[in-house]
Amino acid sequence: MKFYIATDHAGINYKDFVIELLKNKNIEVEDLGPYSKDRVDYPDFAQKCAKAVKEDSGSFGILICGTGIGMSIAANKVDGIRAALCHDAYTASMARAHNEAQILCFGERVVGLGVVESIIDAFITTQPEGGRHTQRVKKIMAIK
Ligand code: RB5
């Protein structure tokens, strides 16, 4: 399992915590930035992460901004990408089980670190249920 991670200035305080969390689970993680707390535009980093996930088949992404909203909207513009904004373990597990999301988004201004840990645990341990859910995912991906 490999993750790409990116944030904006409003999500960067959580980046090192998440990287350590993944490394402690022996999950490979590549930090796509930013590398300072200077103000940046979240669409740039959403696009960078979404394209990395698209090009590296089977990989996953984590995007963090203030709310997670802008990151998820921007990442979903990349063809083939399903980015899910999650607020708790339930939404994170459903994002994998029903929506087959490859990218997990959340907001540093919305969820605390304990919730982040449970969100990530749920996202990495839940498998797609397949069947009717995959049929629906295919319908999403056919929308142009
Ligand atoms: C930055 O202030 C903020 O707008 C951004 O991090 C994010 O929450 C956008 O959706």
Query: Tens digit of pLDDT for each residue in 54-70?
Result: 999 999 999 999 999 99
Instruction: Give the DSSP letter of residue 67.
Output: S
Measured in Å, residue 77 CA sits from the centre of ligand 1 at 17
Instruction: Provide the pLDDT confidence category of residue 31 given band limits of 50, 70 and 90.
Output: very high
- Residue nearest atom 10 in ligand 1 by C-alpha distance: 70
65 CA from centroid of ligand 1 (Å): 6
Tell me what the mean pLDDT of segment 109-118 comes to: 98
Residue 13's pLDDT band (cuts 50, 70, 90) = very high
Residue 68 is predicted with a pLDDT of 98
pTM (2 decimals)? 0.98
**Element spanning 64, H or E:** strand 60-65
Q: Which domains does the chain have, with CATH numbers?
A: 2-142 (3.40.1400.10)
DSSP 13: G
Helix (H) or strand (E) holding 139: helix 132-142
